[in-house]
Amino acid sequence: MIVIMKPGAAEESVKAVISYIESNGLTAHLSQGKEVTIIGVVGDKTRLSTENLTVYKDVDRIVPVTESYKLANKKFHPEPTRVKAGNVVIGPDTMTIMAGPCAVETEEQLMCIARAVKDAGASILRGGAYKPRTSPYSFQGLEEEGLRYMKRAGEETGLATICEVVSLDAIEAAVKYVDMIQIGARNMQNFILLREAGRSGLPVLLKRGLCATIDEWLNAAEYIMSEGNPNVVLCERGIRTFETATRNTLDISAVPVMKEKTHLPIIVDPSHSTGSYKYVPSMAKAAVACGADGLMIEVHNDPAHALSDGPQSLTFAHFDQLTRELAPFCSLAGRSFQIKSEGKA
Ligand code: PEP
Ligand code: MN
């Protein structure tokens, strides 16, 4: 449930409500908006007398929250959340572009991609060091060595960095090298991994599972948040449908649906959702137009020889052209987006 305080409620009144909630063994989450203060209650509600709560000074009303996810729920926290990864803020005012190779292959490869995506306007470098491939015989990633290259590339370019983690060991290693961790589609309901990501102290990008509903996805976010980590960003990356013309089906409507249900930022991955570089630009523009807070795009110096996901990777020229074409969409959507190179915006 949430307790909505009267506009201009006194600080002592808010404190009194919180202490009543806590004295009953429940947890209170304070959300202080410009006008209204909301206190979210998490825990066993049968331990609390709602009627008693209503007699507290400055309490306006009590609203039940029927959804099983609470901390991720917009009712708990009406203001949009801003998540910081390194020096980048992902949220409602900006367009954050995460770009880079599917997999970190060599240090030289990563460095040259990092410079190119930075020049074209990306602010976060992506690169997989642990690759959960469909086939066990496919390239599985450089693991900790790949994370080291990510750190160096981040230091050299000033880009923030993000890397997928697939195990508890990978989280332990990632904490030493990158600014943000990613939970991939295949691990969206790996609840032990989600809890551990919640304890890592790093912001988490949570990709939608291949067959996950919006509700299941939000509950996965709740696992991370319930460990005390509020810094979760959602990523729509396409779902399995009967359609085979694209690798997955981009559920673009997930963006406005999520905007209604949660305060967490949501970004779109047009690369994994379409599986083809040809469709990435149009889907990227659609994502910006429908309110996404960012994009994750695969870029490679030589897609034909990429060790993974070459067909969906953009060349440097394609990525550069895309960011220039995206600029007017970003400004129409009211989001700041800076292309670094002079004269290109
Ligand atoms: C990735 O981003 O490298 C990846 C494997 O994506 P997904 O988990 O969405 O398949
Ligand atoms: Mn990939």
Mean pLDDT, rounded, for 57-79: 95
Please report how the helices 191-199 and 214-225 are oriented relative to each other, as an axis angle in degrees rounded to 10.
Answer: 40
Query: In the structure, what pLDDT confidence band is assigned to residue 36 with cuts at 50, 70 and 90?
Result: confident
- Ligand 2 centroid–CA 298 distance in Å is 7
Name which residue sits closest to atom 6 of ligand 1, judged by CA: 184
Query: In the structure, what pLDDT confidence band is assigned to residue 178 with cuts at 50, 70 and 90?
Result: very high
Mean pLDDT of the chain: 95
Q: Which residues line ligand 1 (CB under 6 A)?
A: 102, 128, 164, 184-186, 207, 237, 272
Query: In the structure, what pLDDT confidence band is assigned to residue 345 with cuts at 50, 70 and 90?
Result: very low
Ligand 1 pocket check: which of 131, 135, 162, 207 to mutate, most ligand atoms within 8 Å of Cβ? 207
Name which residue sits closest to atom 9 of ligand 1, judged by CA: 185
Name which residue sits closest to atom 5 of ligand 1, judged by CA: 184
The pLDDT, as a whole number, for residue 340 is 56
Query: In the structure, what pLDDT confidence band is assigned to residue 49 with cuts at 50, 70 and 90?
Result: confident
Q: Which atom of ligand 1 is nearest to the CA of 128?
A: 3
Helix then strand then coil, in percent of the chain rounded to 5, is 40, 20, 40
- The pair of structure tokens assigned to 212 is 């996950």
| b/e code 186-223 from CB counts within 10 Å (16+ = b) | ebbbbeebbbbbbebebbbbbbbbeebebeebbbbbbb
pTM value is: 0.95
Q: Which atom of ligand 1 is nearest to the CA of 186?
A: 8
Q: Which ligand is nearest to the CA of 307?
A: 2
Comparing 95-99, 136-140, 178-182, 217-221, the range with the smallest average pLDDT is: 136-140
- Ligand 2 centroid–CA 68 distance in Å is 31
- Cβ atoms of 220 and 249 within 8 Å: the answer is no
Q: Output DSSP code: residue 244.
A: -
Does residue 341 surpass a pLDDT of 60? no
The pLDDT, as a whole number, for residue 339 is 67
The pLDDT, as a whole number, for residue 125 is 98
Higher pLDDT, 33 or 345: 33
Does residue 337 surpass a pLDDT of 90? no
pLDDT in tens, 318-332: 999 999 999 999 999
- Cβ atoms of 205 and 162 within 8 Å: the answer is yes
Q: For ligand 2, an ion, list residues with CB under 5 A.
A: 102, 309
The pLDDT, as a whole number, for residue 344 is 39
Ligand 1 pocket check: which of 125, 142, 182 to mutate, most ligand atoms within 8 Å of Cβ? 182
- Ligand 1 centroid–CA 273 distance in Å is 9
Q: Output DSSP code: residue 80.
A: P
Ligand 1 pocket check: which of 162, 208, 272, 299 to mutate, most ligand atoms within 8 Å of Cβ? 272
Name which residue sits closest to atom 3 of ligand 1, judged by CA: 102
Nearest Cα neighbor of 197 from 214, 216, 178 is: 178
Q: Which atom of ligand 1 is nearest to the CA of 235?
A: 9
Does residue 227 surpass a pLDDT of 70? yes
